[in-house]
Amino acid sequence: MPDARRRRVRGNQLLADAATIFDSTPDLAEASQATRPSFASGAEWMRAALGALRGVSPRGSAAFTTIGCVKYIAAAVAAAIPLAVAVVTRSAWPLVSVVPAFYAAEVQSVFAFPAALDGAARPLATSRSIVRSSGGTLRAVGIVVPIAAYMLGGGFLGRGFRRAWCVGCLAVLLWYEAWRPVGPDVPREPA
């Protein structure tokens, strides 16, 4: 993807593109029905989705449960800090920082799963590197928040929570495809 298009990436546009792809690719909807609520199952769905996007599935493997736990524990700890400050200072003002703190931490590993699927030796570090090269934490949070809002609440729009979750994941994969590195750590084409 040319650099100019990379800079124009927006969460809402990624969601629209992802919804179109999801709805026109019956294999993705079918694969989503086989997923269970686990990091490993979600990673396997992402493998299928990357395969649908590329025409060939990545073959990387990793401890996806560990990656997912590290990702969300770090985000929860970041969110707990302003919460603790609010309790200690008996002020509600720090509470406005809880959600931004969560996403500022969470976004650092937004690409960890697809990077691991692509065979990255250090998927969390690879994710952080992509976040930096794609514009940094604030820009990434601005892209992730609409995606996360749709993933968590899109089911109320009448098409189902599983579809909303999958469309959100697919939006992240489209974003990843625009920015993923090429080289020995993350090959362009799976081996």
Residue 191, pLDDT score: 37
| CA distances, 191 to each of 8, 78, 164 (Å) | 31, 37, 31
Residue 183, pLDDT score: 52
pLDDT 10s digit of each residue in the chain, 191 long? 445 545 578 999 999 999 999 999 988 888 777 677 789 999 999 999 999 999 999 999 999 999 999 999 999 999 999 999 999 999 999 999 999 999 999 999 999 999 999 999 999 999 999 999 999 999 999 999 999 999 999 888 878 898 999 999 999 999 999 998 765 444 444 33
The residues near 41 (Cβ < 8 Å, ≥ 6 apart) are 34, 35
Please calculate the CA angle 80-121-117 and round it to the nearest 5 degrees: 80
pTM over 0.85: yes
